[in-house]
Structure 1
Amino acid sequence: MKRIFWGGLALLSAVFLPQLATAEPDLDRMSVEELLPLAQKEGKVTVYSFTSRIARVEKEFEKTYPGVDLIPSDMGSTEQIARLKTEAAAGISNADVIYLSDTPVVLTELLEKGLIRNYVPPRIENRMPAEFKAPLLSPRLSTKVLMYSQEAYPDGSPIRNLWQMTTDEWRGRVVIVDPLQKGDYLDLMTEFVLRGDEMAKAYEAQFGKPVELDEGVDNAGTQFIIDLFENDVIIVGSSDDVSAAIGRKGQTAPPVGFTTYSDMRDNEREGWALQVANDVQPSNGIIFPAVLAITAKTTHPAAARLVIDFLMGDDSSDGGASYAPFYVPGDYAARTDIESHPAAVPLKDLAAWRVDPAATAKLRQNIGDLILQLQ
C-alpha cells in the first residue's frame, strides 16, 4: 500500500509541479516594484500615442526606470486604429500600449474584436470613478471646443450661440479639422445631432423663431451641420492648424473654430492668444475620455503595464513629473485625487457636452456620410 501511495504521489508531482513552476505570474496584480525587473528584462516598450506629448513622457519614464526603453510613435487616433487592424490581420504586433481617443471606434473596432485589453494599475484602482476604469482605463478627459482669440476679442468670445456661425457675419470665418480624417471631430458633429432638441432651443433663442428644417431633415443638429458647411466653413488638417488660424496674434478679425482646449498651453511658445469660449448656447463642444490599453499580443507585457501606471501620474496632488505634460488648462484628470489645473475652467463649469461613446457609435457613420456629401 505504501508503495502504491508514494508511487501515486510521485506521478501527481510529475504531472502538476512542472505546470505550477511554469505558471504565468499575474502581471495585472503586480506592484511597480514587482514589474520593474521583469520590464528591464524585456528592455523596451512601444507606445502608439495620439498626443505628441508622449515625447516628454519618454524622457521622464526612462529617467525613472533605467533599462526600459520607451519607444514613442506619435500618430492620430484614426491612424492608430487602422494600423492596429492591419497589423492584426497580418499576424504582427508592433505596439505594446495604445494611447488614443475616438472611444466609440476604439470600443467597437479594437476592444470588442479582441485587439486590445484593459489594464487598471492596482496603485490607482481606488482613486478612479468606475466609469473611467471600464471598459477601458481613462487617464484624462480631452476636448473639442469652441476657441477664439483673446487679443482680438478682449471682452470675451464673439460667439455666444452656436447658430451665429451660420450667419453671413461668420461666413468663411469658422475653422474645423476635417471630420472624415479625425474621428474626434466626427464625434463632435455627431453630438450636434444627438443634442438636436438643445440645438432647436438654441436656434429659437438666437433668431426668435422655431428652426426651419430643410426637406428630408428631421433634426436641428443635422440642420446646423448643413448650414455650417454651406456657410463656407474652413476645413484644415490638424488641431494645430485650427489653433494657429484662430490664435495667431496681430489679426483684426480672426476666425473662431473648434479645437483642443489644452492647445492654450502653447500660447506663449507659438505666439497665440487662444482662449476657450465657455459662455455659449447650448454648448461649446464636447468632452471625452482619452484611453489607455495594452495590445492583445504585446511582446513586452510587464513594460506595457509599467508605462500605463506611469502615465496615470504619481501620488502627488498634481500627478508629478510623469503627469506634467497633461497637467494643463483644458485637460482634466480622471483620478479623483489629482486637482484640476488652477488656470482651467473647473470641470463642473465647462459648457461642453459629455460624449456617450455607445450612442455616438450608432450614429457616427450616418453623420460621416452626410459630411461627405456636404464636402
Structure 2
Amino acid sequence: MRPTKKIVTVAALLSLAACAPSTGGQAGTLNAEAEPLPSASVDAAFDLNALVEAAKKEGSLLVYDSSGDIEEVAKAFTAKYGIAMEGVKSDTPQTAEKMTREHAADNVTIDAAMYEDGGVLMGQLIPQGIVRTWVPADLQDQILPEDRNPLRALSKATVFAYNTKLSPGGCPVGNIWDLTESDWSGKVVMQDPLGKPTVLSFLTQLDSHGNQALEQAYQAKYGEPLKTEEKSAAYEWIKRLAANEPVLTGSDEDTSGAVGAPAATDRKIGFMSISKFRNNEDKGYTQATCEGMEPFAGFSYPKYVAIAAKSKHPNAAKLYVHFIMTEEGVKHEIGEGGISGNSTVKPLVAPAGLSDWKGQLFHTDPRSLVADLQNRQIMSDFWRLNHR
C-alpha cells in the first residue's frame, strides 16, 4: 500500500534543488531568483510591557541555534524576564528538518530559531509558512530596511587564521592563491564544505560576485592574467584548493585546535569562525586573522531570527526576538566579534587581526541566498570531484 505523502521535507527539497540547472528554475524545482517573501509582521499597537506580561503567562520558551552561545543568551533572558528559556545548539539543517516535521504534525516544540543558512530560510521555511518574520515595532527604525525581512539578528564571519606563536612576524600567507600552492598542501584546515552550509554558500557566492577580485589577486601574485578552462576564476580557485589536500574537520573547534593550540608545532592556516578566537583567552591558544590577505581575509554572512508559525508560546518567542535585537541579548552572540542587525549596537570587540570588517571581508549577498540553495548540489559535486 502506497503511503500518503503528507509533506515535502527539507531533504527532499534539497534533492529537488540538486536536479535543477544553475541557470534558472524548472517546474518542481527551486527558482534561482527569490520569490517575494510574505511581509514581515509588525504589531501596530506594540507595548513591550504588555508583551512581557503575556510572555510570562505562557511560561517557557525553546530556541534552537547553530551556536552554543544560545545557552548564554537563554540564561540572560531567563534572568531578565523570569521566563524559563532553553537554548539548544543544533546544526541548521537538522533544525530546519525538525521544524518542518513539527509544523506538519501540528506538534510544535521549537518556538524560534536562529538561522545561518539563509537559503533554506528564504527559499523554503518562510514561503512554506513554517516560520515567520516578526519585527519589534519599537526597534524598527534601528534596523535597516533590507535587514527586516527576514530579520537579520547579526552577521558573523569565517576567516583565514594562523598561529601567532609559530609565525610571530604575521600571517605566512598574503594571497588567497597561496593556499593552492604545494607549500600549503595538507596544511589548510577547514570544515568540510559538504557539511557546513555557510562555507558552501561562500563558494557559490564567490562565483556570483567574487571573480573580479580573485582575478586581480591572481594577477598580483603571478604577474599574468589567470587562464582557466573552468567557468570562472572562482571555480578555478576552488578546484585548486580542493586538490591541494586541505584537512577537513567536522567543527570549527577542531579547526581551531589544529591551528592555534599550545601544543601545535606545525604551521597551518585555518578557515574558521571568529567565535573560536575565544579559545585564545579560554584555552591559551595563539591565533589571529590573516590581516592584509588579498583579496580578502575571510567572509561575512548574515544570521537571521524567525518564529515558528505554530509556536505554542508566540509572545515569549516575540520577546526573545526583541531581546536578541538589543545589545543586552545579542552581546552573547557577538562577544568574539560580529555585527548586530540593530544599527545602534556597536561591535563589542575586534577579533585579533580583523580590524576592518567592511574592508577585509568578502560579504555574502543576501539577495543570492536562494540561488545558493539551488546551486548547492552543483558546487558539492564539484568539490567532491576535485578533493583528493
Q: TM-score, length-normalised on structure 1? A: 0.85
From 64, 67, 72, give the equivalent of 1:48. Answer: 64
CA distance in 2, matches of 1:142, 1:180: 20
Task: Indicate conservation of the 8 Å contact 2:160/2:269, yes or no.
Answer: yes
Query: Which residue matches 2:293?
Result: 280
CA distance in 2, matches of 1:373, 1:342: 40
Query: Which residue matches 2:28?
Result: none
Check 1:346–1:251 CA distance in 2 against 1; reply closer, same or farther (3 A cut): closer
Q: Does 2:50 correspond to 1:38?
A: no
Letter in 2 for 1:359: S
CA distance in 2, matches of 1:181, 1:295: 24
Question: Alpha carbon RMSD of aligned pairs, Å?
Answer: 1.9
**By how many angstroms is 1:118 displaced?**
0.5
Check 1:142–1:327 CA distance in 2 against 1; reply closer, same or farther (3 A cut): closer
Gaps of 5+ in 2: 1-41
Q: Does 2:213 correspond to 1:198?
A: yes
From 350, 363, 379, give the equivalent of 1:367. Answer: 379
CA distance in 1, matches of 2:384, 2:59: 45
Question: Which deviates more from structure 2 when the two are superposed, residues 322-331 or residues 160-169?
Answer: 322-331
Letter in 2 for 1:52: G
Gaps of 5+ in 1: 1-25, 314-318
Between the aligned residues of both structures, percent identity stands at: 26
**By how many angstroms is 1:350 displaced?**
4.0
Task: Indicate conservation of the 8 Å contact 1:178/1:235, yes or no.
Answer: yes
Bigger CA radius of gyration: 1
**By how many angstroms is 1:192 displaced?**
2.6
**By how many angstroms is 1:285 displaced?**
2.2
CA distance in 2, matches of 1:198, 1:192: 9
Which secondary structure state, in structure 1, belongs to the residue aligned with residue 288 of structure 2?
strand
Count residues in correspondence: 340
Which secondary structure state, in structure 1, belongs to the residue aligned with residue 306 of structure 2?
strand
CA distance in 1, matches of 2:71, 2:175: 38
Task: Indicate conservation of the 8 Å contact 2:114/2:305, yes or no.
Answer: yes
CA distance in 1, matches of 2:45, 2:64: 24
Check 1:40–1:151 CA distance in 2 against 1; reply closer, same or farther (3 A cut): same
Q: TM-score, length-normalised on structure 2? A: 0.83
Letter in 1 for 2:325: M
- Residue correspondence of structure 1 range 339-350 to structure 2 within 5 A: 339-344=346-351, 345-350=354-359
CA distance in 2, matches of 1:143, 1:172: 23
Query: Which residue matches 1:221?
Result: 234
1:86-131 Cα shifts (integer Å, max 9, x gaps):
3334343221101121112211021122111111112211111112
Check 1:249–1:350 CA distance in 2 against 1; reply closer, same or farther (3 A cut): farther
Task: Indicate conservation of the 8 Å contact 1:84/1:115, yes or no.
Answer: yes
Check 1:71–1:342 CA distance in 2 against 1; reply closer, same or farther (3 A cut): closer
CA distance in 1, matches of 2:72, 2:297: 30
From 102, 123, 130, give the equivalent of 1:87. Answer: 102
**By how many angstroms is 1:164 displaced?**
0.3
Letter in 2 for 1:351: Q
Query: Which residue matches 1:5?
Result: none
Letter in 2 for 1:62: T
